[in-house]
Structure formats: structure tokens, C-alpha cells
Amino acid sequence: MVPFYAQDHDYSRFNVLVVDDIPINLTLVQKMLSKYNFAIRTAANGQQALDAVAAQKPDLILLDLMLPVLDGFEVLRRLRADPATEDIQIVILSALNSNEDVVKGFNLGANDFIMKPIIMQKLLSCVNTQMKLVEAKAGK
């Protein structure tokens, strides 16, 4: 199996925002990604996510759907409606996994959808793809 990224490479230039209202989920995703040196920030509800994006635009958002204050669908809708944030790579991580939820997420502009429980290799593969897209857009 090809490794996600070489562990000796510094990917701290990539800013990842993880949005989930369950602390153990935030910790799990942070642990999965931290060994690759991403700059990781977290938010526990939809409004905190929007505030975090306004403070510093992330390269990637890993977004839960079932959130207090504003749900993930509304966060996604608002981010895609704003020209300043419409191009952020957004991956939904959710236990909501009906066909309707998945289609709604993609129709609102999600770049990918990963169903919980999260399988580490699937998350890392998805993040790898999203980072390649970020690099391609930036010409890095």
C-alpha cells in the first residue's frame, strides 16, 4: 500500500478545519491527521465553523452534518454562497448516510462524503485527494 504522505514531510502549510460537536470525534480525526503535520483547528458547532473560516480560510473542512446552532447543511450552503469561501474543499463526515442526505450534501457542494464510523485509510485517502486538488488550484 502506498503511504498517504511521507511522514518526514512537513504539511503544516495546509490548514484543516474539523467540525464536530462530539469531542471524541474531534480527537479521533485530529489524531489521524496530526502525524502528517497539518495545521488543524476545530469547531464544535456550525456558527463556530463559520467564525473559524472567517478568521482564517482553511484549505480543507471536514464537516459533520448534525451540529448545534447551524447544521452542516446550512454551513455548507453558506460557504458555497460566499465568493470568498466557495472554493474551499469540503468533505462531509457524518452518520447521516441515507441516499437523500448524501445527495443533498453533494447538491450543496460537498467535494466528498465519508460515512461514520470513520475508517482511517478511507479518510487519509480522501484527504490526500483533496490536498492534491488544493495544490493544483494554487499551482503549488
Q: 96 — alpha (psi -120 to 50), left (phi > 0) or beta? A: beta
Please check the confidence at residue 48 and state whether its pLDDT lies above 60.
Answer: yes
* pLDDT computed for residue 140 by the predictor: 54
Rounded CA separation 115/119 (Å): 9
Rounded CA separation 115/139 (Å): 31
Mean pLDDT of 82-93: 97
Rounded CA separation 122/56 (Å): 27
Mean pLDDT of 62-83: 98
pLDDT tens track for 113-127: 999 999 989 999 999
Q: Which residues are paired to 15 by β-bridges?
A: 39
138 — pLDDT class (breaks 50, 70, 90): confident
